[in-house]
């Protein structure tokens, strides 16, 4: 095979692998096998502003790293019984020839990771073994920047960590 054929394969094989991984995730059933999944139950505390809150789930995985770029993703899927499933992440890596260097706790991108805040029922998540799941409570409506008068800007962060910052020129 000539250099053109090799270049074609180097560019398009990862692309087709990515498409196959998405198809595989879409075709898989949402029923978790207890031997392959850990179950986590979160009971959110009652809050008066629940209608204005949402919960975003974050996932990390311990991976062996080398010099290649890496991207991992998965989906938060709701089952018929109201539980959530986070499957083993799919991934894509560049193809440089290099040695294993270290192990890293890597962020996994999660599609559909945000749900409404609800303290009336527990959130049950079945996560593939080896995944570390956490959540963050956020406000639903966010004002990133608004200007009611020229030169005045207000910033309100999306994360509900008690921090509010507002400034305006004097």
Q: What is the pLDDT of residues 53-108, one digit of tens each?
A: 999 999 999 888 788 778 888 999 999 888 999 998 888 877 777 777 788 888 89
Q: Are the beta carbons of 121 and 145 closer than 8 angstroms? A: no
Residue 88 maps to a domain: yes
Q: Which domain holds residue 70?
A: 3-139
Q: Are the beta carbons of 129 and 150 closer than 8 angstroms? A: no
Closest CA to 25 of 75, 70, 62: 75
Residue 39 maps to a domain: yes
Residue 153 maps to a domain: no
Written as one string, the DSSP assignment of 99-121 is ---EEEEEEEEEET-EEE--SSS
Most confident of 14-18, 101-105, 135-139, 164-168: 135-139
Write down the pTM of the prediction. 0.62
Q: Are the beta carbons of 153 and 145 closer than 8 angstroms? A: yes
How do residues 125-152 score in pLDDT, each as one tens digit?
999 999 999 999 988 875 333 334 444 4
Closest CA to 42 of 152, 110, 126, 148: 126
Q: Give the domain CATH number at 134.
A: 2.60.40.550
H or E element in which residue 21 lies: helix 3-27
Contacts of 63 (CB under 8 A, 6+ apart): 70, 72, 103, 104, 106
Residue 38 maps to a domain: yes
Residue 162 maps to a domain: no
Residue 151 maps to a domain: no
* Total tally of structural domains belonging to the chain: 1
List, in sequence order, every residue forming a beta bridge with 126; answer none if it has no partner.
Answer: 39, 85
């Amino acid at each position: 095979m000539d250099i053109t054929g090799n270049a074609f394969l180097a560019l398009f094989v990862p692309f087709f692998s990515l498409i196959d991984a998405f198809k595989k995730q879409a075709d898989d059933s949402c029923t978790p096998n207890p031997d392959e999944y850990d179950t986590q139950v979160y009971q959110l505390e009652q809050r008066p502003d629940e209608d204005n809150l949402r919960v975003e789930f974050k996932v990390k995985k311990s991976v062996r790293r080398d010099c290649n770029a890496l991207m991992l993703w998965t989906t938060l899927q709701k089952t018929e019984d109201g539980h959530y499933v986070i499957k083993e992440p799919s991934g894509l890596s560049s193809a440089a020839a290099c040695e294993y260097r270290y192990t890293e706790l890597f962020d996994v991108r999660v599609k559909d990771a945000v749900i409404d805040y609800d303290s009336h029922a527990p959130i049950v998540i079945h996560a593939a073994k080896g995944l570390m799941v956490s959540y963050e409570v956020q406000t639903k409506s966010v004002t990133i920047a608004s200007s009611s008068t020229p030169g005045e800007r207000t910033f309100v962060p999306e994360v509900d960590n008690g921090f509010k910052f507002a400034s305006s020129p004097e």
